[in-house]
Structures are given as structure tokens and as C-alpha cells.
Structure 1
Amino acid sequence: MHRTLPLPQWKGSAVAVGPPDTRAGAWAGAPSSIWTEDGIYLAYRVRLPVGEGRGIANVIAHSTDGVAFTTVAEVGKDRFDAESLERPALVRTPEGRWRLYVSAATPGTKHWRVELLEADDPAGLPHAPARTVLAGDESTGVKDPVLLRTADGTWHLWASCHPLESWDEADRMSTWYATSPDGVAWRWQGVALAGRAGRWDARGVRVSSVLADGDTLLAAYDGRATAAENWEERTGVARGGRAGDGRFTPLVAAEREPLSSPHPPGGLRYLSVVALPGGGHRVYYEATRADGAHELRTEYLTPAVSHLD
């Protein structure tokens, strides 16, 4: 029997990080999480409403229990001369180095690019020199990378790409796939996942987490049907082929209603999955609260309840 990714149940979840205030448009979320020998490290985005700063910072935090986090470092948007920051990707290399891939918005445009910081430890990331690793171009914005390194040493990346030919249509998105020998120089391989006409994910899709299950890749992804659902995406599930292919197809289970917050308009997005040594998983995700703000929530899922088949 094939498995899918560990998926949030909502019941039993806890708030890991609250938003900076209680207004709609104030968010803590877009998490990227990894397990190490001394606990879980979490990178996430802090955002204020449009007109008041938008994505003001990426924060790196540490926890021994996966729920209560202590801030280790913070990187502000001014570090990149950016109008806003979106989802970071936190990675530890086989050599023990730490990397933060930062999604930065070019001021006065709908363009996004990805910058890389690298240091010996998480606390050193804000002081590391930045280098652009996914530049995008005048027709495409690139952000929200998800990374996976396979046993053969190949780095795999899935990023959200936005067409920029029309200002009003720039919210549309698909996920593109790239490979690299070192996680720095990337070669695009094509579209990995696109929206489906007439479905809940028609307007755009964004891969948010990728795990390998033997030779199969499994992905969680954010989707929305219309431009009005921007910022309130919901979560679906997709399956890929071998890691060298990188493309995904939504699962039959994804034809059901996607995962959503119980609070309208139901945003539940940016699912990040951590496999734990005991066989269970801890998941992190951004979700809409009753007051319209977004918070970063977490759940521990035992192997018995971790998977929707």
C-alpha cells in the first residue's frame, strides 16, 4: 500500500508562533523545519498587513520539544533591499554547514528572487554574505523553494514561479523543478506541478514539502481556485516518480476537499514535515485564525495516524 505525506488533523494541534498582532494580514508562518541531534530548528516568516511592511523578517528558532521555540537569529528585509520576504528554506549540508534560502521581493515590482546565506551555525546566518541563487527574470518571479538532497549527492529544488507579463495576473503560480550538484548553481528541468482547470487548485499551486518514500516522491502543495483566494490557500497531496524526475500528480485523495483551517476563509498552507527518530512526524503549517490573522501551528503525528491513504 502506498503512503502519502503526514497530514494535519487539527485536533490536538498547538500554536508554535503567534502573529505580530491580531489584524487580518498579520501573519506568522511559511515554516521550514528540520530535525537535528539537539532538537528541531524552524525558519519562518513574520508579516504585517499590506502598507505596513508586509514580510518584515525571516526568523530562525530552536526547540527541544517541537512546540516551544527560542529565537536564534533574525534576518530583516532591509538586509536584501527587499520590499517583502516570504517563505525561507532552512537546510543543513552534509558537511554540517547551515543554509537559509530567502525569498525576497524586488521593490516596486511583482518580481521575486531567492538569496542564499550560509554559516557554520544558525546564529551566524544574519551576518553571512548573500548571493543570488535563483534570480528569476523580467518575465518570471521565483520564490518559496523546497529542497531535498538524495543519497547520490544531487540537490533537488521545487520553487513557486509567477508569470509577470500582467500586474493583475501575477498571483498565478506553478511549481518548477531544478537540480544542482551543490545546492548553489541550479539547472531548471521544467514544470513539476500546475493548476487544474475547474478544480480547487485552478489558479495556482505551490509545492510546500517533499519527502522520499523509497523510490517515490511525495509532496504537499498549496492551491487556490481564484485570485480572491490569494493568501488563503489550502493544502493538497501529490505523488511523483523517482527523484530524478521531479514531477508530481495530485492523488485521488486530493479530489476530496483540501485541508483547511476551521476558521473562514480557511487558509492552511506551507506544510513542513519533520521525520522523527521514533518513526512519527511533526508537522508545521500556517493557518487562519478566527480573527483573520495567521498563526504557525504544529502537531505530532504518530505512525498510526500520520498518513492518509
Structure 2
Amino acid sequence: MSIGTQELSLPRWEDSIVVVEPPGAEPGAWAGAPSVVEADGYVYLAYRLRLPIGEGRGISNVIARSRDGVTFDVVATVDKDRFGAESLERPALTRTPQGRWRLYVSAATPGTKHWRVDLLEAATVEGLATATPRTVLAGDDSAGVKDPVLHHDEHGWHLWASVHPLESWDDADRMTTEYATSPDGVHWTWRGTALAARPGRWDARGVRVSSVSVDGDTIVATYDGRATAGENWEERTGVARGTRLPDGSFGALTAADDQPLGSPHAPNGLRYLSQVTMPDGTRRTYFEATREDGAHDLRMEHAG
């Protein structure tokens, strides 16, 4: 998600702690894919719980609330069955300028590699648990859409989403990040590719923007990348930058040449980074990362 005007920075593993444990202790059991918002003196953390393939995959999206950004209480949960989905992926939590809450849910179409994004909206966070979903990013037979990142400013709504080609089953793990704009956060117009894979680099197989920071006409993004199909689900995190165009939209992002950030535990996944600035000016950085047994924790680093 957008964190306003503070530039994004990558966390230090040694300074991070676990805030949500996975629902199992084996590869494919994950707590993570966080999306975080600060509002009314609370940190609101939306995340995905997942079991291994054959045992349920992405079983639910959870929203939890915390005063300190460390200890959370669950306030709403939505399960995959509400969406007729085979799996749920990263939720995107945001609050509209009118104070309403929205949760953008990535839902997998059963028996396919297709994804779509549904929207839940309510006056309160708790109300998202019973809100009626409506599809806002449908994808089509040629592409699946998931994992949106949102930003709102005086020019309207902006969205960066992971798009997967569906022409070939074996290539459906490839991904680009596509950019869209909207007057209301519901009806979207695609504007083009924001970030693409780089042949021969650590992100050669696919890229997915995970968070953005906007400062005037400058945008800084973190993104997940992988070099091969075998690194699917174990992406690492890099940084990309871009600028605003004269019409108020954003142009393509340029990836930095830095080495990506990964977990110290093989296969080194560290992805879905999301940051929030607290009222006292300190920063909380949340991310999903591989632990020693192969499961994924949802971790947080606190920085001044």
C-alpha cells in the first residue's frame, strides 16, 4: 500500500520480529502477504493465511488491529468460500477519503490459473467481514490479475497489480506489474506496464510491486522478483523508482541495480513488504519471509 510521503526502505532481518505465525510448520504453510494502514491511533494489518497445495492453499484473509503495531487482535476474517475461490492471495486494505473501509481480495478461479480482484466495502473494519463482494478487476481468458497496491491523492486513485499471462499453463507464473487509474477506486482504466522482468537478472521471471511511497512527483516502490519458475512463492525484494506524468498519473518504474533482500533461510523468500508511519514518526515494516523449517512468518521491523 501507499505510505504517504516517507520514502520506502528495506528492513534489516536481524531487527525484525514475528507478529503472526503460520498455520503449519512446513513449506507451503504461510502467514504473510501483509497490507497495513494507520488510522485513528491504530495499526490495521490485513494478511493472508495459507496451507500447502492439496490442504487448502490460501484459506482466508484476516484483518487485525493494534495500538503499537506489534501485538494484534483479529477484528475481521473472510474465507475463500465466500468468493467461490480455490485460494486467496494478498489482500489490499485501504480507507477512502470519506472514511469508509475497503478490502481488495485476490481470488483464484477453481481449476485454472486465473485470478481476479473483488472489493469489499463497509463503514467499519468489522463490517468488511459481512460485506458483499463485487468484482473490480476481472482479468480475462488471457490474463489473471491479483495483489493490487493502491494509492489515493488529489489526482484520483492509482493501482499497481500483478498480471499473469494465461496462454500457456507452464508460463502462468510469469508476471508483470500493470498500472491503472480510477476516479472512484472501483472502475479502473489500465494505463500500461509499470514494471517488467529483466532478462538475465535476479528478477528475470517476473516482478510484482508490493508497496509504493509518493513524495510530490516522485514514486519509490518495493517489488518482489524471481529469476526462475522454481523460485515461485520464494521471491526476494528489490526497489524501483519513477515519476509523475503531466496528467497526474505515474509513468513506468525503473528497477535499481542493487541486490535483492532475502531471508537468511533457504530458499530465501522475503516478499510482500508493506510499511506504515506511526503518529510519533517511527516506521513499521511488515513482510512475509521464509523461516528455517520452510514455512513463512509474517514479520515486522521497527525503525525510528
TM-score range normalised by the length of the shorter chain: over 0.9
Distance 1:195 1:275 in 2: 30
Q: Measure how far apart 1:4 and its partner are.
A: 5.0
1:83-131, CA deviations, whole angstroms, 9 ceiling, x for partnerless residues? 0000000011111100000000000000000000000111111211110
Q: Measure how far apart 1:245 and its partner are.
A: 2.1
Distance 1:247 1:45 in 2: 28
Q: Measure how far apart 1:37 and its partner are.
A: 1.8
Question: Are 1:244 and 2:249 an aligned pair?
Answer: yes
State the one-letter code of the partner of 1:34: V
Distance 2:73 2:107 in 1: 24
Please name the residue that 2:204 is paired with: 202
Question: Are 1:223 and 2:225 an aligned pair?
Answer: yes
TM-score, normalised to structure 2, is 0.95
Q: CA RMSD in A?
A: 1.1
Please name the residue that 2:149 is paired with: 146
Please name the residue that 1:174 is paired with: 176
More moved, 73-82 vs 277-286: 277-286
Structure 1 residues without counterparts, runs of 5 or longer: 303-309
* CA distance 1:245–1:256, change in 2 (3 Å): closer
Question: Are 1:33 and 2:36 an aligned pair?
Answer: yes
Alignment of 1:60-79 (within 5 A): 60-79=63-82
Question: Are 1:87 and 2:69 an aligned pair?
Answer: no
Distance 2:215 2:14 in 1: 26
1:173-193, CA deviations, whole angstroms, 9 ceiling, x for partnerless residues? 000000000000000001000
Other structure's SS at 2:82 match: helix
Query: Of residues 110, 114, 122 in structure 1, which corresponds to 2:113?
Result: 110
**8 A Cα contact 1:110 1:141, kept in partner:** yes
1:16-42, CA deviations, whole angstroms, 9 ceiling, x for partnerless residues? 100001011000000000011231000
Distance 1:161 1:211 in 2: 21
Other structure's SS at 2:224 match: strand
Distance 2:150 2:268 in 1: 27
Other structure's SS at 2:151 match: strand
Please name the residue that 1:132 is paired with: 135
Other structure's SS at 1:60 match: strand
Please name the residue that 1:212 is paired with: 214
The alignment covers a number of residue pairs equal to 296
TM-score, normalised to structure 1, is 0.94
**8 A Cα contact 2:102 2:121, kept in partner:** yes
Q: Measure how far apart 1:244 and its partner are.
A: 1.1
**8 A Cα contact 1:6 1:301, kept in partner:** no
Q: Measure how far apart 1:275 and its partner are.
A: 1.9
Query: Of residues 8, 12, 16 in structure 2, which corresponds to 1:13?
Result: 16
Percent identity of the aligned residues? 68
Other structure's SS at 2:302 match: strand
Other structure's SS at 2:118 match: strand
Question: Are 1:232 and 2:234 an aligned pair?
Answer: yes
State the one-letter code of the partner of 1:6: S
Distance 1:272 1:86 in 2: 15
State the one-letter code of the partner of 1:285: F
Structure 2 residues without counterparts, runs of 5 or longer: 1-5
Distance 2:226 2:276 in 1: 25
Distance 2:164 2:114 in 1: 8
Distance 1:134 1:53 in 2: 24
Other structure's SS at 1:287 match: strand
Q: Measure how far apart 1:6 and its partner are.
A: 1.9
